[in-house]
Chains A and B, each alone.
Chain A
Amino acid sequence: MRIGVITFPGSLDDRDAQRAVRIAGATPVALWHGDHDLQDVDAVILPGGFAYGDYLRAGAIASFAPIMSEVVDAAGRGVPVLGICNGFQMLAEARLVPGAHTRNAHQQFIRRDQKMRVENAGTSWTTAFETGDEIVIPMKNADGRFVADAETLARIEGEGQVVFRYLDVNPNGSLNDIAGVSNLAGNVVGLMPHPEHATEPGFGPDTPAAMSSGTDGLKFFESVIGAFVTA
């Protein structure tokens, strides 16, 4: 399986996402924001960082990048798309997932190993989980506060589009403790925490078993690979 990772000017975690794809057993394909070509990849990842300096709004200018028209088309065809942190902001700005992001409620950049609950194990990126699983994934952002109007919130809660919810601490003031959402079809998922940073023992969050041993992020990639292999 070939999974594309799009690099934008200001992307930071594109290499980490490629590495996570490789660790999970698929082939990473480097894609470029300025191209109109997804190189026939089977899934797409929009990585974290500060694309285009996050000027205007986080992810806003990136959502108008040339390759985004291909991403929108692919998402419409059911190709799995994962937006991580800045990539989640791009998905929201491109209206591929509901809601939007504002500055964290406490006005500070935050970095922590974040506990979340998997609220929907039926999306393209969560089938390796069970609904209700509690996982720990690193997060780091300044504009991570998920917001949507009351009607949208009620709709996405009802449709199972809330995929991840923060546990213990709401790190940024996100409404309903929402950490990640999907589109209605479930092939497009965005979340603020970084699963690619929890895929290799020794480089992940601490667990009760050992320091830096958390690999809960691996299942995101295994989910999409598993669905491809059995398809």
Chain B
Amino acid sequence: MPVIVVEVMPKAELLDPQGKAVAGALARLGKNQFSSVRIGKRFEVTVDGQVDDALLAEVRELAEDMFSNSVIEDVVSVTVTETAPTA
């Protein structure tokens, strides 16, 4: 079944405490080649049927209005992939 993948990231100018905590752990492990980590979200929306332009437009709208909060986050991508149906 087709899967629509939505990726959401915290806005670049905002503090990302989770990413900062992971970056701190990397530094403590001696992995000094990394300067920062930011953590976002990935939504995989399985579609019952075919993906057409109207459905994609609807998911883009949901991505903006529900999956993300535009005050603190940006929708960075909305893509369609095909996966084998699960048993």
| Bound pair (A, B) | yes
* Binary flags per residue of A122-139, CB closer than 8 Å to B gives 1, else 0: 000000000000000000
| B interface size (C-beta, 8 A) | 12
* Binary flags per residue of B47-63, CB closer than 8 Å to A gives 1, else 0: 00000000000000000
List which A94-123 residues lie within 8 A (CB) of chain B. Answer: 99-100, 102-107
Query: Is there an interface contact between B69 and A104, defined as CB atoms closer than 8 Å?
Result: no
List, in ascending order, chain B residues with CB within 8 A of A106's CB: 17
Query: Is there an interface contact between A107 and B14, defined as CB atoms closer than 8 Å?
Result: no
Query: Is there an interface contact between A102 and B72, defined as CB atoms closer than 8 Å?
Result: yes
Please tell me if A147 contacts chain B, counting CB pairs below 8 Å.
yes
Q: Which of A12-20, A33-41, A56-64 contacts B (4 or more CB under 8 A)?
A: A56-64
List, in ascending order, chain B residues with CB within 8 A of A149's CB: 71
Q: Which residue of A lies closest to B70 (CB)?
A: A100
A4 CB to closest chain B CB, in angstroms? 25
* Binary flags per residue of A47-87, CB closer than 8 Å to B gives 1, else 0: 00000000011001000100000000000000000000000
A135 CB to closest chain B CB, in angstroms? 27
List, in ascending order, chain A residues with CB within 8 A of B21's CB: 107
Point out which of B14, B15, B69 has the most chain A C-beta atoms below 10 A from its C-beta. Answer: B69
Contacts A107-B17, A107-B18, A107-B21 given; does A102 touch B10 at CB 8 Å: yes
Please tell me if A10 contacts chain B, counting CB pairs below 8 Å.
no
The 6 closest A-B pairs by CB, nearest first: A100-B71, A107-B17, A100-B72, A103-B17, A100-B69, A107-B21
